[in-house]
Amino acid sequence: GAGVSQSPSNKVTEKGKDVELRCDPISGHTALYWYRQSLGQGLEFLIYFQGNSAPDKSGLPSDRFSAERTGGSVSTLTIQRTQQEDSAVYLCASSLVAREQYFGPGTRLTVT
Amino acid sequence: QKEVEQDPGPLSVPEGAIVSLNCTYSNSAFQYFMWYRQYSRKGPELLMYTYSSGNKEDGRFTAQVDKSSKYISLFIRDSQPSDSATYLCAMRKGSGGYQKVTFGTGTKLQVIP
């Protein structure tokens, strides 16, 4: 079946602009995660959605970052007033509850 | 100190060699251990998933967990150029409900033909 998909695959934006990153999880997966991957930093947890429960936002680095998950499926990560330090690969993963995570290909964000 | 430590490499080996990749961790509450493989410009792909101490084998891959030493390993036998990738260890505390996964920074492996 189809895996996790993310769009766009690459995004170049100017400092100060807002960006939206999209994630389509595996059908039937109720859990959805966003991570940020910077060179040499590993995967940094950003936010977790599970069904209708309140999301775990504890990893969001600032209030410029927000995420939504509509209808328990598609999720959008929004970064407002982008800064150069936001440049990274943003990865989305989905899973069944308490099971292994399956990752999308990521969105490579470059802030100039 | 990070909860999970992993040597970033790069690790360069000849084709056919046995590769050993390792992670150490500090939190004894971790019970579930995973290895992911990540090719360049791709998302991580789950390779192995183990619970508690012991070994698990899948083809050319063997995952080993030593909870007493807080040390996990991934062995790759008869390494192939297609194994060239970054390998990330990951771990979490429990199975019930939501448990945050902690990742290592990854070890870059290059298998030379």
Residues B14-65 pLDDT 10s = 999 999 999 999 999 999 999 999 999 899 999 998 887 889 999 999 999 9
For residue A94, how many C-alpha atoms fall within 13 Å in the half-sphere facing its CB? 21
What pLDDT, on the 0 to 100 scale, is given for residue A1?
57
Residues A54-98 pLDDT 10s = 899 999 999 999 999 988 799 999 999 999 999 999 999 999 866
Distance separating alpha carbons of residues A56 and B64, to the nearest angstrom: 31
Identify all chain A residues contacting B41, using CB atoms and an 8 Å cutoff.
Answer: 105-106, 108
Instruction: Tell me if A45 and B8 make a contact (CB, 8 A cut-off).
Output: no
> Which of B 9-38 lie inside 8 A of A, CB atoms?
34, 36
Identify all chain B residues contacting A4, using CB atoms and an 8 Å cutoff.
Answer: 43
Could you tell me if B46 lies within 8 Å of chain A, comparing CB atoms?
Answer: yes
Identify all chain A residues contacting B103, using CB atoms and an 8 Å cutoff.
Answer: 42-43
Q: Nearest 5 degrees, angle CA A75-CA A81-CA A82?
A: 75
User: Which of helix, strand or coil describes residue A28?
Assistant: coil
Distance separating alpha carbons of residues A40 and B8, to the nearest angstrom: 7
Nearest to A30 by CA among A86, A64, A82, A71: A71
The stretch A31-58 carries a mean pLDDT of: 89
